[in-house]
Amino acid sequence: MEAAVLSNKTATKNGKILLLLEDIEVQGLRSPMTDQEFEEFCFDNPKLRIEQDKHGNIIIMSPVSYDSGNYESEVTGDLVLWNRKTKMGKTFSPSTMFILPDGEKRMPDAAWISMDKHKKLARWERKKFAHIVPDFIVEVRSPSDNLKTLKSKISEVWIANGVRLAWLLDPENETAIVFRPNSEPVEIKGFDQVLSGGDVLPGFEFDLSILKEQ
């Protein structure tokens, strides 16, 4: 199949100029795609950060800002240090793709999987996009992210597929929202507090003050 090329033309909508991606050639774009075809599509287009929803729609993710990248690394760093001490599971970077039971293919900003669940994956499965649900995920809101959309993503994608604990961190507004199955999200105002991993991540705590803008 011929490659689809994203135009570098501009368009207007509601008086705003829309700048389309310039000179990016998208290889192998087809619909619908099998899991294997989607994985090959991602590998064929390494310049793009790509997700896919359960309806087969391709989602191209934008790079994060300087601040957002720092926030993500702070959370992941603390999670890695805790996990090295406890050896209770495996931690994952924002580039890790998870294939969820309903067909969603997503990459959270940070993730953790228990050792028991990890050991159920065959070695060959670990070399591919794995069919596995993280026990814990984090999404860090960037200024361009729509809060309602991000909350829906956590509830309707991550929690609905079996994630046991999820944090939505909004550094710009100093707000954190904690999601668990079968309960309403809990909103925490102010980054002078500490989040706990509870029974999912025993002993893990994250000091939100680390994310205060400096």
Q: Are residues 37 and 50 in the same domain?
A: yes
What pTM does this model have? 0.84
Rounded distance, CA 84 to CA 93, Å?
15
| 79 and 185 share one domain | yes
Residue 20 to residue 103: CA distance in whole angstroms: 28
Report d(CA 91, CA 81) in Å as an integer.
10
Contact between 140 and 77 under an 8 Å Cβ cutoff? The reply is: no
Q: How far apart are CA 108 and CA 9, in angstroms?
A: 31
Q: Which residue segment(s) compose the domain that 26 sits in?
A: 4-61
| DSSP characters over 35-96 | HHHHHHHHHH-TTSEEEE-TT--EEEEPPPPHHHHHHHHHHHHHHHHHHHHH--EEEE-TT-
Domain count of the fold of the chain: 2
Whether residues 37 and 9 share a domain: the answer is: yes
202 and 170 share one domain: yes
Whole-number pLDDT of residue 11: 46
Q: Are residues 151 and 176 in the same domain?
A: yes
| Residuewise pLDDT in 10s, the chain (214 residues) | 333 333 334 445 455 444 444 444 555 566 678 888 899 888 888 888 889 999 888 888 888 889 999 999 999 999 999 999 999 999 999 999 999 999 999 999 999 999 999 999 999 999 999 999 999 999 999 988 999 999 999 999 999 999 999 999 999 999 999 999 999 999 999 999 999 999 999 999 999 999 987 5
